[in-house]
Structure 1
Amino acid sequence: MVSRRQMVAIGLATASVAMGGGAWAQAYPNKIIKLQVPFAPGGTTDIIARVMSDSLGKALGQSMVVENKAGGGGVVGATELARTPADGYVLGMATVSTTAANPAINDKIPYNTLTDFTPIINIAATPNVIAVHPSFPAKDYKSFVAELKKNPGKYSYSSSGTGGIGHLQTELFKSLTNTFITHIPYRGAGPALNDTVGGQVPIIFDNLPSALPHIKSGRLIAIVVAAPQRLAVLPDVPTFKEVGLEPVNRMAYYGLIGPKGLPQDVVDKVYNATKQALTDPAVKKRIEDTGSLIVGNTPAEFTAQIKAEFEVYKEVVAKQKLKLE
C-alpha cells in the first residue's frame, strides 16, 4: 500500500518531469539543426540552403548544418523528412519538384505533400531557364525550336531528376511545341549541370541560380526563361510567355518545411529567425545575385502556395497526359 508520504513524493517527481519537459521544449534549439537538401550539391536548392544556413543558425542561436539526401527527383530526401521526428532538429528545403511536380505525376510517392509536412516559409522564388551547350547549332529561341523540329529525337536534355520541375516543365514545353527531346534524369541539378557544361548532354532545363554562372562565363547559352518579365541579368533572353508558352512560365520556390506535427512554437521560432536572416544585407545580396527574388511569406501563405502549385501540376499532367518514363 502506498503511504501518503510516497504519494507526495510521486506527485513531486511527476511535476518535476513535466516542468523539465516544458523547459526542454522552451529551450529549442539546444543542439545542432540539420537542414536537409533533397538533391545533390551544386544545384539551386543547395545554393539557397547554404546561403541561409549560417545566418539562420545565428538567428536561432545554434549551429545549422546542410545535409544532402539526393535521389528520385527529390523524393528520397522528402520521404526521409516526412518520417523524421517532429522536434525541429531536422528541417527540409521544399521545392516545386518535391511538393508539387513529383507528387502530381507520381501517384506512388510515399508521402502526401499536403498532409505530411509543416510549411514554415518560402525563402525565395527563382526563374527557370532552358540553356544549351555552345556546340548546339541554335543560339536563340526561334532557331532552337526549328532545330528540334527538324531533328526529332536527335537531342537530349538533362534535369535534376525524373518527376522534378525540370522534367515536367520540359515535357510540357515539348507537348506545346510538338518537339521531341530525350530526357536524361540526374540525382540533382549539380550533376546535370556538370554533364551539360561538359558537353555530354546538349540541353538543360534548370533553375537560374545554378545555371547563371555558366551562362555568364559562356559555357552555356540561355534560350528562354520562366519569369514574370525579362531579367536584368539576361536582357536578350525572352520569357516563355513572350514566345507564346505561358503555361511553362512558372517560377520555382525554395522554402523551409518540417515533418507534420511540428510544434507551433518551433514553427514560430524558425519563421522569425528566417525573416531575421533575410534582412541581412549579405544574405539578401547573395540570393538576389543569383537572379532570385526574396519572398519570406507566412506559414499559412506558404501552405496555400504549395497546395495551389500542386493543383496546377496535377492539371498539367492530366491535360498533357504526362507519364513517368
Structure 2
Amino acid sequence: MMRRSLLALAALATIGAAHAQSSYPNKPIKLLVPFAAGGTTDLIARVVADPLGRELGQPVIVENKGGGGGAIGAAETARATPDGYHLGLATVSTTATNPAINPKIPYNVFTDFTPIVNIAATPNIIAANPKFVGQDYKSFLEEVKKNPGKHSFGSPGTGSIGHLMMEMFMLATGTQMQHVPYRGSGPALNDAVAGQIPLIFDNFPSALPFVKEKRLTALVVAAPKRLAVLPDVPTLAEVGAPGVNRMAYYGVVGPKGTPKEIVDKVNKAVHKVLQDPAIRKRIEDTGSLIVADTPEKFAQEIKAEYTAYKDVVDKQKLTLD
C-alpha cells in the first residue's frame, strides 16, 4: 500500500512538472545582463526583450547586475532555479576570457549553464590614437615589432576580451606591448582618444563612433569579412592572424538543468524575433551580426572560445594580479 502511494505521488509530481513546462511561461521572465546599462550587451538584451516577451506571451524584464567582469551577474544566473524564469545574457567575457584567467570564478562554464541561443556576435577592433606613428596595419605592425615593449594598449580590464585578444595577437605576431587595464570600455576609449595610451583593442560598436569622428584610427578588425562601414580596413585573417579573427558573442543561457522543452521554446521564440527586419536592423546598426543558432551549436561556440583563451592565458602566463 505504502509503495503504491509513493509511486502515485511520484507520478503526480512528474505530471505536475510536465504541465508546468507545457504551460510555460505563465509569469514574467527575468533576463539578467551581467554588465551595467549602456553597453553592447545591455543594448542587445533590450532590443530583444520586448518582442521576445510578446512572442512568449509574458513580459521579459531586463535586469542589470555588473561587477567582476560579468562574473557576479553570471554567477546569479548559474545559481537560479532552472524553471525558465531566470535567464541570463552570456558573453565571451563571462564564459571564456574571465573564467580562463580567474581560477576563483564562482561557476563552471560547462556544467553550471544551459546554452539556449546565440543572438548575435560583434567584431572587435585594434585602433590607434591619430598621433600614433602607425596609421594603417602595416605601419602599426612594423612599429611595434621594431620597438618591443615600448608601446602600450588599453582594454576594458584584466581578463576582458580586449585584453586577451591583444595577448593572442602578440603571440601570433611575435610582438610585445604593455597592457593598461581600465574599468570598462568608456575610460579606455577616452584615454586612447586623449593620447594617454596610443592603442586599444575593444569591441567594434564601442569604438566605432570615435573612428567615425576620426578621433581614433581603425587598424584591423576581427570579423568574417571586411566591414561595410570600414571597407579599407583589413581583417585579422587577411593580415595573417586567422586565430585572432574572433568575434564577441551575446547569447541566452539558463541555469543547469533548465528543461529541454523550455530551452526549445525560448530558442524558437528568439529565432522568430530575429526574423523581424526592424529588430535585425537595430542589432546590425550596433555593428553586430545576427547568429540565431541552436543550443548545441552555442554550447560548441562557448567551449571553443574558452579553450582558445585558456591557451593564451597559459602560454602568456597571465594572472589577475
Give TM-score scaled by structure 1 length.
Answer: 0.85
Q: For residues 36 and 98 of structure 1, what CA distance do their matches in structure 2 show?
A: 12
Matched ranges for 1:88-127 at <5 A: 88-127=84-123
How far apart are residue 149 of structure 1 and its match?
5.1
Is the contact made by 2:134 and 2:143 (CA closer than 8 Å) also made in structure 1? yes
Q: For residues 232 and 54 of structure 1, what CA distance do their matches in structure 2 show?
A: 29
* Amino acid paired to 2:236: F
Is the contact made by 1:214 and 1:220 (CA closer than 8 Å) also made in structure 2? yes
Residue number among 214, 236, 240 corresponding to 2:232 in the alignment: 236
Residue number among 280, 290, 296 corresponding to 1:294 in the alignment: 290
* Amino acid paired to 2:228: A
> Which deviates the most, 193-202 or 78-87?
193-202
Relative to structure 1, is the Cα distance of residues 182 and 314 closer, same or farther in structure 2, using a 3 angstrom cutoff?
Answer: closer
1:268 paired with 2:264, answer: yes
Is the contact made by 1:35 and 1:93 (CA closer than 8 Å) also made in structure 2? yes
**What CA RMSD, in Å, does the superposition of the two structures yield over aligned residues?**
2.9
1:217 paired with 2:210, answer: no
How far apart are residue 104 of structure 1 and its match?
1.9
Identity %: 62
How far apart are residue 98 of structure 1 and its match?
1.2
1:181 paired with 2:178, answer: yes
Is the contact made by 1:126 and 1:208 (CA closer than 8 Å) also made in structure 2? yes
Q: For residues 37 and 193 of structure 2, what CA distance do their matches in structure 1 show?
A: 16
The equivalent of 2:248 in structure 1 is 252
Q: For residues 65 and 155 of structure 1, what CA distance do their matches in structure 2 show?
A: 44
Q: For residues 31 and 192 of structure 1, what CA distance do their matches in structure 2 show?
A: 40
Q: For residues 26 and 139 of structure 2, what CA distance do their matches in structure 1 show?
A: 57
Q: For residues 299 and 196 of structure 2, what CA distance do their matches in structure 1 show?
A: 39
Relative to structure 1, is the Cα distance of residues 44 and 196 closer, same or farther in structure 2, using a 3 angstrom cutoff?
Answer: farther
SS at match of 2:312: helix
SS at match of 1:62: coil
* Amino acid paired to 1:55: P
* Amino acid paired to 1:42: G
Relative to structure 1, is the Cα distance of residues 16 and 163 closer, same or farther in structure 2, using a 3 angstrom cutoff?
Answer: same
SS at match of 2:181: strand
> Which deviates the most, 200-209 or 102-111?
200-209
Relative to structure 1, is the Cα distance of residues 185 and 14 closer, same or farther in structure 2, using a 3 angstrom cutoff?
Answer: same
Is the contact made by 2:96 and 2:306 (CA closer than 8 Å) also made in structure 1? yes
How far apart are residue 205 of structure 1 and its match?
1.6
Is the contact made by 1:121 and 1:271 (CA closer than 8 Å) also made in structure 2? yes
Residue number among 146, 157, 168 corresponding to 2:164 in the alignment: 168
How far apart are residue 256 of structure 1 and its match?
0.6
Q: For residues 16 and 317 of structure 1, what CA distance do their matches in structure 2 show?
A: 50
Is the contact made by 1:44 and 1:189 (CA closer than 8 Å) also made in structure 2? no
Is the contact made by 1:47 and 1:210 (CA closer than 8 Å) also made in structure 2? no
* Amino acid paired to 2:268: N
The equivalent of 1:77 in structure 2 is 73
Gaps of 5+ in 2: none
Gaps of 5+ in 1: 1-7
**C-alpha deviations, 1:92-140, integer Å up to 9, x for none?**
1111121122222222212110000000011112211112344444322
Give TM-score scaled by structure 2 length.
Answer: 0.86
